């Protein structure tokens, strides 16, 4: 029991506290439809084009977290972890373009859905210098972990994920990305443990906002609304 308590941080306690919403974000019907092979390909294409837009907006957000790491990190490890995540986004954007070509999805002049616009505006609000490092780290972990847990579920034993979507699931569901998410969580927990009550409260609200935006993004992908 002692070892288990040691490993449990603020984020783990929040996940348990808000498990219904967390499960809604990581086991959404859109993800479950990929896992059981019933996914509507038009929904997948909609997710593809909208997520490409989101990732391009995600880049400056991660860069802003990196700047905060440079100013707040007690050692170089934080910066290295976040820099690795930022560097991988260049490859991710190239992957989206390649996938879009494969699925005959146009990424130019795409109409941005309301759920995506709202999520991108939320990201922008987290980029100011006034946003505390612990809060930004919490958001970054939540965004990345939602995808990691969702797509990893589509690769587990018993899944019937269509072969043509396996690569998509492996991109975020692989163990290397899982390790990156665990590193982010460890860093976030470390700073949350030292944060003021006000920052902790704001970080928890930020986590809930991320999960709500993720659910809305999946809803938009799944139903087109």
Which residue in the list 99, 132, 204, 214 is annotated as catalytic?
A: 214
- The pTM score is 0.94
Q: What residue ranges do the domains of the chain occupy?
A: 10-221
Distance CA 110, CA 48 (A): 11
Kindly report the three-state secondary structure assignment for every residue of the chain: CHHHHHHCCHHHHHHHHCHHHHHHHHCCHHHHHHHCCCCCHHHHHHHHHHHHHHHHHHHHHHHHHHHHHHHHCCCCHHHHHHHHHHHHHHHHHHHHHHHHHHCCCCCCCCCCCHHHHHHHHHHHHCCCCCCCHHHHHHHHHHHHHHHHHHHHHCCCCCCCCCHHHHHHHHHHHCHHHHHHHHHHHHHHHHHHHHCCHHHHHHHHHHHHHHHHHHHHHHHHHHHCC
- Provide the pLDDT for residue 2: 36
Instruction: Give the pair of three-digit tokens for residue 206.
Output: 């930020």
- Provide the pLDDT for residue 7: 62
- Provide the pLDDT for residue 223: 84
- Provide the pLDDT for residue 225: 59
The fold of 10-221 is Heme Oxygenase; Chain A (1.20.910)
In this structure, the dihedral spanned by the alpha carbons of residues 149, 23, 213 and 87, taken in order and rounded to 10 degrees, is -10
> Splitting the chain (225 residues) into consecutive groups of 10 residues, what average pLDDT does each group show?
58 98 98 97 97 98 97 87 97 97 93 97 96 98 98 97 97 98 97 97 98 98 80
Catalytic residue status for 214: yes
């Amino acid at each position: 029991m002692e070892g288990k308590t040691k490993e449990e941080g603020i984020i783990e306690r929040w996940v348990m506290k808000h498990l219904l919403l967390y499960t809604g974000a990581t086991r959404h019907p859109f993800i479950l439809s990929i896992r059981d092979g019933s996914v509507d390909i038009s929904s997948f294409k909609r997710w593809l084009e909208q997520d490409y837009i989101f990732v391009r907006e995600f880049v400056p957000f991660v860069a802003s977290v990196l700047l905060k790491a440079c100013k707040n990190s007690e050692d170089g490890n934080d910066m290295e972890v976040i820099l690795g995540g930022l560097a991988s986004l260049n490859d991710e954007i190239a992957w989206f373009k390649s996938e879009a070509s494969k699925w005959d999805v146009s990424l130019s002049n795409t109409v941005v859905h309301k759920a995506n616009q709202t999520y991108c505006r939320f990201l922008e609000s987290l980029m100011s210098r006034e946003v505390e490092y612990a809060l930004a780290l919490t958001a970054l972990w939540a965004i990345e972990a939602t995808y990691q847990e969702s797509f990893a579920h589509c690769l587990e034993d018993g899944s019937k994920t269509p072969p043509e979507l396996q690569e998509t699931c492996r991109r975020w569901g692989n163990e290397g990305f899982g390790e990156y998410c665990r590193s982010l969580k460890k860093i976030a927990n470390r700073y949350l443990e030292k944060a003021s009550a006000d920052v902790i409260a704001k970080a928890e609200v930020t986590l809930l906002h991320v999960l709500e935006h993720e659910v809305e993004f999946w809803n938009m992908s799944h139903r087109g609304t």
